[in-house]
Amino acid sequence: MSMFSFMKKEPELPPIDPTLVLAEAQECLKEKDFDSALEKFDLLCSLSVQSPLPLLSRATCRLQLKKYEGVLEDCEKVLMFLNSDIEGHEEESCTTVHSLALMRMAKAHKELGNLDSAKSSLMRKNAIEHKLGRSRADDITEDAVEKERETAEEWKEKGNIEYKKENWTLALEYYKNGLGYDMYNSKLHSNACMALIKLRRWSQALKHAEQCIALEPTWVKGYYMKGLILSGESKIEQAQVVLRQAAKMEPGNTQIKALLDEVESRVEYVESRLRRRKPAKDKEPKQPEPQRAADDSGNDNDNDQAVEDVDSDEEYCDDDGCRTPKKITLRVTRKDVINTAMELAAAAVGVAVVWWFVTQRD
């Protein structure tokens, strides 16, 4: 082994192509090689997941491999995404992502012996499909639609009661149940968003805030909640943009103005800290030296020279709280120079006299 082998860099691995990994995983599923498919989906889920589908596919693999706890874990994450349509699962009576996730959860709970939880998951799944099925039917009636809206409102009221008691998690569950009956209810999305904000689950809250904005673009609360979430994530510049837009929509809204003022103060503070890190130029005018009387030699002190010791290790805290090298100023006068020169001359004469006596003795 060469002594310089440690200096050799390992070749960089090519970036992972999610589409290629997904194609390989789907091929494994067709061949019913669930172990290999699970490895591929694990790799996909280790990336930045922007879609619930990899998690849902991994839950399907884990269900086949009887890894039921993993199924529940993946399906819970799927339910954190907003619901959307899905194709190819009509035989299971599932037409949405949430429906399929709840069906997987029901099967996992049943295998684990949690029959009550399995029943609850099936009820939630059936509620979603019931609403969508009736809305797609030809014989839909206004009474049926109104009934489902009333059911959604009932869940919302239950959630509001728990929210006032500061039971954020239970309130969130009730709001989600209401969304199962009316997924386009902006008030339910708003309430679910506020519960998630209280739980500091920012990424999930952001999805509901954006859904509010999509459903009601003129409702300022969606923008306010989005700004509040971005501020909580310390994305203050993005929060500032959203809140300024909200302030233009409702200039007299004191709640928005207070949050905007707070965010702008934070932005200004960060910018000032960044400016302070740059090399500061000395803009202060030099103060004139005080006049002193002439010394004993008759020489004035106007020709004094100032020497600055900038290499000193001594530090101090300035007004901004930053530790900077302290400058030490020394005063050297003409009298000091003359005295030092005379001392050196006397020393040289002394050395010469001693040298003369030594040589004479030899």
Q: Which long-range contacts (CB under 8 A, 24 or more apart) does 218-221 make?
A: 218/249, 219/186, 220/246, 220/249, 220/250, 220/253, 220/256, 221/190
- Could you read off the pLDDT of 191-246 as tens digits, one per residue? 999 999 999 999 889 989 988 888 888 899 999 999 999 999 999 999 999 999 99
Q: What was the pLDDT predicted at 139?
A: 46
Strand positions, DSSP E, the chain: 305-309, 315-317, 323-325, 328-332
Q: What was the pLDDT predicted at 84?
A: 80
- Could you read off the pLDDT of 83-123 as tens digits, one per residue? 888 877 665 678 888 888 888 898 999 899 988 888 878 87
The stretch 303-327 carries a mean pLDDT of: 39
40 compared with 357, residue with greater pLDDT:
40
- Under the banding of pLDDT at 50, 70 and 90, the label for residue 1 is very low
User: Which residues make beta-bridge pairs with 233?
Assistant: none
Q: What was the pLDDT predicted at 82?
A: 79
The stretch 300-323 carries a mean pLDDT of: 39
Q: What was the pLDDT predicted at 201?
A: 92
Question: Angle CA(240)–CA(244)–CA(245) in degrees, nearest 5?
Answer: 120
The count of other CB atoms within 10 Å of the CB of residue 253 is: 16
Judged against a pLDDT cut of 90, whether residue 319 lies above it is answered with no
**Residue 306 carries which DSSP code?**
E
- Could you read off the pLDDT of 127-164 as tens digits, one per residue? 777 666 544 444 445 666 678 788 889 999 999 999 99
Q: What was the pLDDT predicted at 120?
A: 77
| Residue among 315, 333, 334, 317 at smallest CA distance from 325 | 315
pTM above 0.85, yes or no: no
Q: What was the pLDDT predicted at 229?
A: 94
Q: Is 196 helix (H, G, I), strand (E, B) or coil?
A: helix
Q: What was the pLDDT predicted at 295?
A: 43
8 Å CB contact between 60 and 69: no
Question: In b/e form, how buried is each residue of 297-321, taking b as 16+ CB within 10 angstroms?
Answer: eeeebeeeeeeeeeeeeeeeeeeee
Judged against a pLDDT cut of 90, whether residue 261 lies above it is answered with yes
Judged against a pLDDT cut of 60, whether residue 352 lies above it is answered with yes
8 Å CB contact between 182 and 148: yes
Place of tokens 């002193």: 292
Judged against a pLDDT cut of 70, whether residue 282 lies above it is answered with no
Phi and psi at 317, nearest 5°, equal -100, 125
What dihedral angle (degrees, nearest 10) is formed by the CA atoms of 341, 346, 347, 350?
A: 160
Q: What was the pLDDT predicted at 351?
A: 75
Q: What was the pLDDT predicted at 333?
A: 74
